[in-house]
A and B are shown apart, each in its own frame.
Chain A
């Protein structure tokens, strides 16, 4: 069974640009979660999508947005990039009805903002 996949692996942008990160969940999973992990820090919750709807978002400015497609894959968009947006962005997915019991993580996209 294929795991959660994320693309690209690395992304280099300059301040003010926009970044788009993509995530494909495990087959059968309907919930997708996005996290930001700045260097040396823990994970900060960004967004939760389920069945195409945004269910919750973390304490991040509106320039962080995303969506979930009918096939349950997801996209995270970061507009007007700032230097402090440099981080590892992790996507996770879970089974329907599983709540938060176990999340399966992808390998992450490392975003560098110059």
Chain B
């Protein structure tokens, strides 16, 4: 079963706007990661936030983590057409010995 559930499933915005996608998970985690997948290809690691961190930035990306609500959000600022992709959150925990991926958010950025 999926640990993470992304919301929304699909998001369509115009270039220059901000995109926010959310991830909820079920169990205690060590860290939470976000990955991007372009059109059915391999995934690319974007950012990792540890369970004792609340916010992290990387370029145009901002990730927040609320362990009390078991949720995370990914904000992409000033979006570009090249940001069009599916975005997945992934969590790991001490017992699972694996990464568990969410269901993904499909982002479409139009000109």
Interface-facing stretch out of B54-62, B76-84, B96-104 = B96-104
Instruction: Note all chain B residues with C-beta closer than 8 A to A103.
Output: 43, 45, 99
Which A residues have a C-beta under 8 Å from some C-beta of B? 4, 33, 35, 41-45, 48, 55-56, 58, 88, 90, 92, 99-108, 110
Q: A41-B103, A105-B42, A107-B42 are in contact. List 14 more A-B contacts (CB 8 A).
A: A42-B101, A44-B101, A48-B98, A55-B97, A58-B98, A90-B42, A100-B92, A100-B98, A101-B33, A102-B33, A102-B48, A103-B99, A104-B45, A108-B42
Given contacts A48-B98, A56-B97, contact A106 B103 (CB under 8 A): no
Instruction: Note all chain B residues with C-beta closer than 8 A to A102.
Output: 33, 45, 48
Q: What are 29 sample pairs from A and B whose C-beta atoms fall under 8 A apart? A: A4-B42, A35-B101, A42-B88, A42-B102, A42-B103, A42-B104, A45-B98, A45-B99, A48-B97, A48-B98, A58-B98, A90-B43, A92-B43, A100-B30, A100-B31, A101-B33, A101-B48, A103-B43, A103-B99, A104-B45, A105-B35, A105-B42, A105-B44, A106-B42, A107-B41, A107-B42, A108-B41, A108-B42, A110-B40
- Nearest chain A CB to B108's CB is how many angstroms away? 15
- Nearest chain A CB to B47's CB is how many angstroms away? 10
B101 in contact with A43 (CB, 8 Å): yes
Which B residues have a C-beta under 8 Å from some C-beta of A? 2, 30-31, 33, 35, 40-45, 48, 88, 92, 97-104
Interface centre among B30, B41, B92 (most CB of A within 10 A): B41
A102 to B41: give the CA distance in the assembly, Å.
Answer: 17
A20 to B45: give the CA distance in the assembly, Å.
Answer: 27
- Nearest chain A CB to B22's CB is how many angstroms away? 15
